[in-house]
Amino acid sequence: MEPLYQRLADHYRQAIRSGVLAPTARMPSVRNLVKLHQVSLSTALQACRRLEDDGLIEARPRSGYFVVKRKRATLPPIDEPETGKILDPASYVGIHDRVSDFIAKCEIHPTKFNFATAVATPDAYPTEALKQSMLRMVRRHPQLLTSSVPHGGHPCLQAALARRALDSGVNAAPDDILVTHGCIEALNLALRAVASPGDTIAVESPAYFGLLQILESLGMRALEIPTSPHTGISIEALDLAFQTHAGIKAVVAVPNLHNPLGSIMSDADKARLVALCEQQRVPLIEDDTYGALADGDERLRAAKAWDREGNVIYCASLHKTLAPGSRLGWLIGGRWKARIAMMKFVQSRPNEPLMQLAVADVLGAKAYDRHLVRLRGRLKAQRERMAQAIADYFPPGTRLSMPRGGMLLWVEMPDGRSSRQVFETALPLGIRVAPGRMFSNSDRYEHFLRVSCGADFTADVDAAVRMLGRIVAGKLP
């Protein structure tokens, strides 16, 4: 049980963190504190001094305490990976246990603060517009509920997606676009189209656990390529891998806002990556799920924009940008278009048309561009507040490279910290984080956490991050 003055100080610390008390705002006077909280004068004074010591407020002669304009505490960035060193051998993926363990434990404990799921809160998406479009489509095309679904995606959605793809430099005919059940099914189909069980797939390190699970379920081997938290996959290391590892059957990369790193490849590197894969005659599978969520208004270009040979299979989804509740993804199959279309037909048949129509309706509207601007701005703010809180509350030695978009932070804890331990300690307290161990087939990222900033940064969230910091510091339980 903390002493009274400290709880009073915490109360105002959170108000300041959460912005309820903005920088330069005046603190309630000491007398007011006494009245407001029924505490003694000395307790009120102690609390203020505590906040002053923490550099949160400052006394101005004869006018009381004010919230200081804090220059943001900055964390050292995560080290660049060593690209020269020998890679781990390609190995069969064994990630299911880690993920099942994660899912099972999450289901036991009710979650108050979900920092593990990589989506924004529902109110960050155009729920009403989607609802109205869905109602309109159901009223207009009820027979679609009871007519067998034609092959391929719905032409309306294909057209809308083709138009949106232009923004990222991808020029595809509507008919080139295959609608899938999320980016997950797209990646499944792409990998099944170009590789077989036992084959080696070059992936980024760290990598999205969903991709690693797919490789495991298909009996494929992962070769983890060093990847920079700033500039993405190392072309040098990949080039080296082609020379040292025979029979790499595909490269899977997330050039824009990598999950979990948040790295963004430069256009030059994207061009080099495409050229290298072409020259090696190895298909490049691109996951562009997050591309539309970069800060500012410039839409990042996809690596696919540099593809001249149909050697790039482009996969994306609307899950993060428009409708987490629709499982709509799509892919552009390049040279493998026909083969992938057949595999989609064999694996799950075409997607239901009504959701496609509703989403196409929303995608086609100007309002969607305004939504993206709002979403990007909101995620940027939440990301910065979260980074600030981590800087304030996590122990010394914590590292963080600030991404230029998206909703994910990849946090390196001081050496020796176990992401599994942090995860398991935080869960019963209602706090869910994604342990680094889920993002590699190795134990390389055991002391990392992926923290999602999809939720509003409230005072409660601030308190949760503070608690998380104490867990990381080993002060809890």
Does residue number 94 form part of the binding site for a second copy (CB under 8 A)? no
Q: Among candidates 13, 119, 29, 134, which has minimal Cα distance to 375?
A: 119
Terminal Cα-to-Cα distance of the chain (whole angstroms): 13
Does residue number 91 form part of the binding site for a second copy (CB under 8 A)? no
Does residue number 214 form part of the binding site for a second copy (CB under 8 A)? yes
As measured in angstroms, the least distance from the Cβ of 17 to a second copy is: 27
Does residue number 349 form part of the binding site for a second copy (CB under 8 A)? yes
DSSP state of 405: B
Alpha helix ranges (H) inside 195-336: 209-217, 235-244, 267-280
In contact, 448 and 465? CB cutoff 8 Å: no
Exactly one of 24, 32, 171, 217 binds a second copy (CB under 8 A); which one? 217
Does residue number 352 form part of the binding site for a second copy (CB under 8 A)? yes
Does residue number 372 form part of the binding site for a second copy (CB under 8 A)? no
CA distance 8 to 11: 5
Exactly one of 43, 213, 311, 356 binds a second copy (CB under 8 A); which one? 213
Quickly count: other Cβ atoms within 10 Å of residue 84's Cβ: 10
Quickly count: other Cβ atoms within 10 Å of residue 22's Cβ: 10
Does residue number 188 form part of the binding site for a second copy (CB under 8 A)? yes
CA distance 156 to 175: 11
Q: Which is nearer to a second copy, 81 or 260 (CB)?
A: 260
CA-angle at 414, arms to 413 and 415, nearest 5°: 115
Exactly one of 77, 84, 89, 325 binds a second copy (CB under 8 A); which one? 325
Residues binding a second copy: number (CB under 8 A): 62
Dig out the tokens for 47 from the structure: 């609390």
As measured in angstroms, the least distance from the Cβ of 272 to a second copy is: 31
Does residue number 428 form part of the binding site for a second copy (CB under 8 A)? no
Binding mask 134-173 for a second copy (x = CB under 8 A): xx--xx--xxxxxxxx-x----------------------
CA distance 45 to 29: 10
As measured in angstroms, the least distance from the Cβ of 346 to a second copy is: 4
Structural element, H or E, at residue 317: strand 312-317
As measured in angstroms, the least distance from the Cβ of 286 to a second copy is: 20
Does the CA dihedral 105-186-205-217 come out positive or negative?
positive
* Positions that interact with a second copy (CB under 8 A): 96, 99-100, 103, 107, 117, 119, 122-123, 125-128, 130-131, 134-135, 138-139, 142-149, 151, 181-182, 184-185, 188, 192, 196-197, 210, 213-214, 216-217, 219, 319, 323-327, 338, 342-343, 345-355
